[in-house]
């Protein structure tokens, strides 16, 4: 167990994370899951309930919509999101697939905004995935110096599918290609049944602040559609977002 500066705060967020996974849970279930006393868990839940972050439904707790208020409030203040959202909407319409704005946060690729029909796929606004396992993440990583990748592929590196890159040398080679061509592809590395194309949103000094991606099912995203049609649409949207974002910075 990590030694956090404020253990009580860590416990509160362990409970929040568990409720996000379980959706609803009682005190005993949470205490057993976290290895905490029922009294401690109950006190944390009672505090969260009074603050409006947790809802008690006959002894089973769930997260409240105050988290939605916080999350959307944070997102709405982000200048890149405000610039990119209209373009992501247009990209989803033009491609007939799912378009997303992705940023890096704490070593993850975070899907900030998604538009389009994506029935049956688990990702949603706020989802986090490994940077090296998705097109948008690889587009961002391609604009980092190679030495910054040293800790990316270690013994605990997630491998969502058997196509996910697990070798540092292989990743560096692919990222070199991504940087040269300005495009990254995901051919079943995040989900075996999906494909994606991504491109980085750059500052005027070449730093990646995010990425644009289009994703869809493997049958619909193959051949010329994957290799030529989608890249053109993604690059067009990315270039427009990049240009407008640079003028506002």
Nearest-angstrom CA–CA distance, 198 and 118: 17
> H or E segment at 102?
strand 98-105
Residue 30 has pLDDT above 70, yes or no: yes
Residues 39-79: tens digit of each pLDDT: 999 999 999 999 999 999 999 999 999 999 999 999 989 99
3 state DSSP class of 169 = helix
In this structure, are residues 55 and 40 in contact, taking their beta carbons and an 8 Å threshold?
A: no
Residue 146 has pLDDT above 90, yes or no: no
Non-local (6+) Cβ contacts of 149 within 8 A are: 141, 168, 171, 172, 175
Report the percent of the chain where pLDDT is more than 70.
95
Residue 169 pLDDT: 85
The whole-chain average pLDDT of the chain stands at 91
Structure tokens that stand for 37 in this block: 């006393």
Residue 156 pLDDT: 65
Residues 191-245: tens digit of each pLDDT: 999 999 999 999 999 899 999 999 999 999 999 999 999 999 999 999 999 999 9
Give the burial class of 148: count Cβ atoms within 10 A of its Cβ; 0-12 exposed, 13-18 middle, 19 or more buried: exposed
Rounded to an integer, the average pLDDT of 161-186 is 92
3 state DSSP class of 221 = coil
> H or E segment at 69?
helix 66-76
With both helix axes pointing from N to C terminus, report the angle between 7-22 and 27-34 in degrees, rounded to the nearest 10.
120
Query: pLDDT band at residue 83, thresholds of 50, 70 and 90?
Result: very high
Residues 122-140: tens digit of each pLDDT: 788 999 999 999 999 999 9
Rounded to an integer, the average pLDDT of 170-186 is 94
Residue 1 has pLDDT above 60, yes or no: no
Query: pLDDT band at residue 2, thresholds of 50, 70 and 90?
Result: low
């Amino acid at each position: 167990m990590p030694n956090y500066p404020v253990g009580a705060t860590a416990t509160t967020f362990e409970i929040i994370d568990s409720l996000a996974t379980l959706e609803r849970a009682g005190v005993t279930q949470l205490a057993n899951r976290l290895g905490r006393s029922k009294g401690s868990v109950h006190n944390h839940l009672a505090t969260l309930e009074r603050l409006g972050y947790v809802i008690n439904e006959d002894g089973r707790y769930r997260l409240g919509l105050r988290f939605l208020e916080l999350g959307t409030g944070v997102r709405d203040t982000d200048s890149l999101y405000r610039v990119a959202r209209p373009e992501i909407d247009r990209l989803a319409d033009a491609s007939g697939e799912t378009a997303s704005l992705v940023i890096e946060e704490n070593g993850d690729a975070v899907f900030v905004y998604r538009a389009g029909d994506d029935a049956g796929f688990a990702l949603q606004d706020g989802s986090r995935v490994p940077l090296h396992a998705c097109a948008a993440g690889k587009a961002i990583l391609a604009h980092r110096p190679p030495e910054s990748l040293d800790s990316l592929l270690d013994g605990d590196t997630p491998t969502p599918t058997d196509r996910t890159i697990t070798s540092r040398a292989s990743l560096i080679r692919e990222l070199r290609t991504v940087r040269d061509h300005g495009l990254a592809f995901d051919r079943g590395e995040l989900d075996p049944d999906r494909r994606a194309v991504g491109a980085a949103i750059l500052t005027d000094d070449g730093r990646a602040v995010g990425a644009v991606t289009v994703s869809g099912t493997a049958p619909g995203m193959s051949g010329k559609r994957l290799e030529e049609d989608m890249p053109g649409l993604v690059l067009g949207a990315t270039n427009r977002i990049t240009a407008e974002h640079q003028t506002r910075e």
